[in-house]
Structure 1
Amino acid sequence: MDLGQIRDLYDEAGIRGFWKGVFPTLVMVSNPSIQFMLYEGMLKQLRRKREEDVKGSTGVTALEVFLLGAIAKLGATVATYPLLVVKSRLQAKQEIGGEKALQYSGFGDCTYSPQ
């Protein structure tokens, strides 16, 4: 971002414009944590089931590890994707003097808006 873009952003939205979308972004950092939690939980269940089925065997294959990781990532993305949409909407350039119905006053307005 160069100085001209910074000036344009400040002229358009003031100091608040620099902070639009910060709250959803901070929540988005939880995505890897959610993914890890889901992965570890599923892996623990798979190992427990293996131990019951095959006496003492808790091994998992590379394909199973891959599939567990993919499912965990899917779950984390489904949980956090709506926040990514809110963040993008808040950070989208909103013309001053444009239609007020298309502008958001903040996180709550963007989240609960019927658009």
Structure 2
Amino acid sequence: MAACCLLGLAGCASEALDTQLANSREAVDQARIAGAAEKASADFDTAVDKLNRANIAANNRHKGDAMRLAQEAQVDANLARARTDSAQARIAAAEMAKSNQILRDEITRANQNQ
């Protein structure tokens, strides 16, 4: 009976690791789609490296290391995504400020010509 319990726990651990690896892959993929490889390359590269190391650890049955690395990869990928989103927001804000200034200048010229 104890052996059955241990096998059940091992199965749960494997499921949890598989789920974490899938979540980490999804986070890395979403960061890549968002442009993190270009806009937050250090964080993105770290996430990819940790995910690769997590997969190697999982294949070598080092489940504890694999879980930790997969969790870290997910956090790093989320950070890369957040930094990418922030960079894109800064660019959009700068473009909006430029457009607003052009509009102000046009309004000023129009008022001077009246």
Q: Same fold (TM over 0.5)?
A: no
* Structure of greater relative contact order (alpha carbons < 8 Å, 6+ residues apart): 1
- The structure with the largest helix share of the pair is 2
Report the structure number with the largest CA radius of gyration.
Answer: 2
Q: TM-score, normalised by structure 1?
A: 0.34
TM-score (normalised: structure 2):
0.35
